[in-house]
Structures are given as C-alpha cells and as structure tokens.
Amino acid sequence: GPSCALHYAVGCLHHSARLAAQTAEDGEQARQRSTQAFRSAISSHTSGSAVPLDTLWLALGVMLAPPLQQQHCFVQAIHLNDRNAAAWTALGFLYLQQDKASEARAAFQSAQTLSPSSPEPWLGQALCIQNAASA
C-alpha cells in the first residue's frame, strides 16, 4: 500500500544522502537508514503497492554489505521477476567481485538478452573477458 511507497522513497533519499556523504561515518549511517527503509517497504508491501516487490529486493541488495545477503536479495528479485535486467546485472557484478566468472557471464548474458541497449551488462561482459585475458 501507500506506506510501502513511502518507505521506498525514504530509502531512496537515504541512498542519495549516502552517495553525497562527506565522511565514511555519515555514509554508513545513511546506508543503514536506507537499508531499514527498504526492509520496511518489503514488509509493508501488498499486491496493490505502487512499487514492485522485485524492485524493493533489488534496492535492498544494493544497500547491503555482506555479499551473501546481497546475493540473496538479487536472487529473490529475479525469482519474483526473471525479466528484471537490473537484478541480473547486479548479480553479475557481485559474481564478478567474487571471481565467479562463469556465473557472472551467465548473469550478464541474461541481462543483455532482456535489455540489449543497456550498457552495464555489456561492460560486465567486457570485464569478464579482460579478467580472463589477464589470468
């Protein structure tokens, strides 16, 4: 319902504050506030909510620090909507950071198929190739 959209908006505002933070402490406080707001949005989500549930899970995953928690959120977003190219891309970059090249390539391929004009999955594929060439 309406509270879901409000929590999502608050989470987005705190995310913006995180990006503009002058100190690491301020950035971390904004990240924590954003994370809590996105969690509240997920828990208050109903079938009539304006923000799709997969979008909320993706946003939460972007805010979380532990890679396993990020992976859980990105996979949850994909489970809810396997046509969410942004979730596939985020998962690909997470796998790339973890040196899971084949998983990263597969995730980027899914994103490329869903959104061929988006540059991020193409960049991810290029980084996979570059990493393989330098290995």
Q: In whole angstroms, give the CA distance from residue 126 to residue 98.
A: 16
Q: In whole angstroms, give the CA distance from residue 63 to residue 96.
A: 18
The first and second tokens of residue 94, run together, are 């997470």
Cβ contact 74:87 at 8 Å = yes
- Residue 7 is predicted with a pLDDT of 97
Alpha carbon 95 to its chain's center: 12
Smallest CA-to-CA distance from 71 within 105, 95, 96, 106 is with 95
Q: In whole angstroms, give the CA distance from residue 62 to residue 48.
A: 24
- Residue 135 is predicted with a pLDDT of 76
Walking along the chain (135 residues) 10 residues at a time, the average pLDDT comes out as 92 96 96 98 95 98 95 98 98 97 97 98 96 87
- Residue 134 is predicted with a pLDDT of 87
| pTM of the full structure | 0.94
- Residue 94 is predicted with a pLDDT of 98
